A = this chain, B = another copy of it.
């Protein structure tokens, strides 16, 4: 029961990660997010600067919404879009995890090389100062 829930959650998270990364893989969408970081905006306002149709921008917004990056509320015929900055944490956590893993590995490699150098085995350096 609980395990199943956890698995589901993991799947959902993985899917959301995929959707979020994929969503930000498009320059127009990244630009939209950048502008929404400054302030909420309607579809029309967001679409104005780009030379694509309003419908295209509407689609981009749907992608961002599916990724959980933006939410839309109602205001008469307008649909103000709001950035959900919370989702950024998901990405940052993923990135940070593997960055640190890689970095620690790099540190260990450095240590090994230093040790080798100490034993004068050094095979690929041309001028070891110390």
Binding site for B on A (CB under 8 A): 14, 17-19, 21-27, 30, 33-34, 36-39, 83, 85, 88, 91-92, 94-96, 98-99, 101-103, 105-106
B18 engages A21 (CB within 8 Å): no
CA distance A83 to B102 in the complex (A): 8
Q: Which residues from chain B contact A96 at a C-beta distance below 8 Å?
A: 92
Cβ contact of A38, chosen from B19, B38, B105, cutoff 8 A: B105
- Which residues does chain B contribute within 8 Å of A27, judged by CB atoms? 14, 17-18
In the assembled complex, the Cα of A19 lies from the Cα of B83 at a distance in Å of: 23
Residues of B within 8 A of A103 (CB): 85
Residue of B nearest to A101 (CB): B37
Check A105 against B37 for contact (C-beta < 8 Å).
yes
Nearest first, the 4 closest Cβ-Cβ pairs linking A and B are A22-B25, A85-B102, A37-B98, A21-B25
CB pair B95–A91 under 8 Å, yes or no, is: yes
Q: How near does chain B come to A82, taking the closest CB pair, in angstroms?
A: 10
Question: Quick check: B25 and A105 within 8 Å, CB to CB?
Answer: no
